[in-house]
C-alpha cells in the first residue's frame, strides 16, 4: 500500500516525542507540551516556544 501521509519525517519525529512523554495539548494548531516546554506545528515545521501556550 502506498504511503499517503504528508511529511512522514515530521510525523515520525512527533511520534518519537510522544514516546518520550510529550503530550498533544491542542490539535488546532497542533501543539505538543512537556512541562513548560512547548512545540507548535505550523506549515510543516516544528516550532519551539520558550513559554507554554497552554494555560
Residue span of the structural domain in which 30 resides: 13-49
15-48 confidence digits (pLDDT tens):
999 999 999 999 999 999 999 899 999 999 999 9
Decide if 20 is inside a domain: yes
Decide if 41 is inside a domain: yes
Contact 53, 43 (CB under 8 A): no
Decide if 43 is inside a domain: yes
Decide if 4 is inside a domain: no
Query: Considering its fold, how many domains does the chain have in total?
Result: 1
Decide if 25 is inside a domain: yes
d(CA 33, CA 35): 6
Decide if 39 is inside a domain: yes
Decide if 21 is inside a domain: yes
- pTM, two decimal places: 0.76
**Interacting residues of 30 by C-beta distance below 8 A, sequence separation 6+:** 14, 24, 40, 41
Amino acid at each position: 500500500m502506498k504511503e499517503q501521509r504528508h511529511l512522514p519525517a515530521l510525523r515520525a519525529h512527533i511520534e518519537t516525542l510522544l514516546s518520550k512523554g510529550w503530550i498533544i495539548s491542542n490539535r488546532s494548531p497542533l501543539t505538543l507540551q512537556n512541562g513548560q516546554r512547548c512545540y507548535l506545528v505550523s506549515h510543516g515545521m516544528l516550532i519551539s516556544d520558550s513559554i507554554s501556550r497552554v494555560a
